[in-house]
Amino acid sequence: MKLLLRCCLLWLSLPLLAHAADLRIDLGKGTKTWSTAQLLARPDATEVTVPGDVAFRRTMRYRAVPLLALLPGLRADQHLQFVAADGFTAEIPATAILNRQGAQAWLAVEDPARPWPALAENAKGAGPFYLVWTNPQAAHIGPEQWPYQLAAIRALSGVDARFPAIVPSADASADVRRGFDVFKRTCFACHTLNGEGDAKLGPDLNLPYNPTEYLCADLLRGYIRNPQSLRRWPQAKMQGFPTQESLSDADLDATLDYLRYMARHKAVH
């Protein structure tokens, strides 16, 4: 009878165990681990309303902690990498989090007693931790800078220093340089290039072939805007950039300029 009771209690606790988790933060002075319970119990945890939430595509309310409060001593010259459990890796300069223009980063924490809604494109949902922003337009925060299923935050050298094989040469055109900046902010969260990068969601975008080598510009633009426009695949993870707010036409064209440039500068292995 006692064994049966224990099994029943374990079964009832499974939903809570499934959502409770730990977040690791390493700013270069050792790793700090925060549990779901610890974050929810912080005195600065508060209710935050996020209009136009990127993951849920509607207004959402979260129990959240100001991200900056979890990053003591963060400096403007630092660079942060946000690693999600599904392989998504967002690269965000510290200046975006330290900005004084009005945008604020929050760590939304999923309460096991009140789980968030399911995501249509991801059966595992957005929890247990999700980087959300209030007033994101004030710091030009794009959709790739809202990582969910967050597992770790760490301070690293900037992308250019860590992955030199993706960096265009100093004599590259201004459009190529602009496209490189857009690529780092958007595509690099899911893809590698020339075999370099930490993301594990999408394929390499230069090896063995660059998409500009097998897709004409119009098809490639359409695919980036809406991946289903090229191949109907309901299970595909790429969400696309359908609006000017998510990716302007000028930034999209510059990204294609960068990809064409890199097609002529493949890494030698």
Q: Does residue 1 fall inside a structural domain?
A: no
Give 258 or 16, the one with higher predicted confidence. Answer: 258
Q: Does residue 268 fall inside a structural domain?
A: no
**Does one domain contain both 137 and 180?**
no
Q: Does residue 15 fall inside a structural domain?
A: no
Average pLDDT over residues 171-185: 94
Domain count, the chain: 2
Q: Can you give the residue range of the structural domain that contains 205? A: 160-263
pLDDT bin (cut points 50, 70, 90) of residue 216 is very high
Q: Is the pTM of this model over 0.95?
A: no
Q: Does residue 86 fall inside a structural domain?
A: yes
Kind of pairing between the strands at 104-109 and 129-134? antiparallel
Residue 246 confidence (pLDDT) above 90: no
Q: Does residue 63 fall inside a structural domain?
A: yes
Cα separation, 251 vs 269, in Å, equals 30
**Does one domain contain both 94 and 147?**
yes
**Does one domain contain both 190 and 247?**
yes
Cα separation, 223 vs 174, in Å, equals 24
Cα separation, 221 vs 255, in Å, equals 10
Instruction: Using the 3D structure, point to which of 131, 156, 181 is the last residue of a domain.
Output: 156
Task: Tell me which residue of 177, 161, 46 sits closest to 93, measured CA to CA.
Answer: 161
**Does one domain contain both 166 and 136?**
no
Neighbours of 139 (CB within 10 A): 19
Instruction: Using the 3D structure, point to which of 99, 121, 156 is the last residue of a domain.
Output: 156
